[in-house]
């Protein structure tokens, strides 16, 4: 392989879709955190962060290139 060619990897689209679903759920939880009882705000935001981290891991496992990865919480 020459230096100008980049290796191609197959991206697991099912994992990418699963990651997108987790990110949408994280957004919902963050939105709800502003409307729930104060005692639930921190757990909602913590769970949203966990979901974002899980989504990031799924993207890495799916073979998404580094430049296209979403930031983890």
Rg from Cα positions in the chain: 16
What pLDDT is recorded for position 5? Answer: 46
What pLDDT is recorded for position 43? Answer: 97
Q: Report which DSSP code applies to 36.
A: S
pLDDT tens digits, 11-55 = 999 999 999 999 999 999 999 999 999 999 999 999 999 999 999
| List of residues 6+ apart from 62 with CB closer than 8 A | 11, 12, 13, 15, 16, 19
Q: Which residue has the higher pLDDT, 7 or 9?
A: 9
Q: Which residues of 14-47 are buried (b: 16+ CB within 10 A; e: fewer)?
A: ebbebbeebbebbeebbeebeeeeeeeeeebbee
Q: Which residue has the higher pLDDT, 2 or 21?
A: 21
């Amino acid at each position: 392989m020459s230096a100008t060619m980049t290796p191609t990897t197959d991206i697991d689209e099912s994992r990418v879709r699963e990651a997108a679903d987790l990110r949408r759920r994280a957004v919902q939880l963050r939105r709800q955190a502003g409307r729930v009882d104060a005692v639930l705000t921190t757990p909602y935001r913590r769970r949203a962060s966990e979901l974002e981290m899980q989504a990031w891991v799924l993207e890495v496992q799916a073979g998404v290139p580094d430049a296209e990865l979403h930031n983890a919480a």
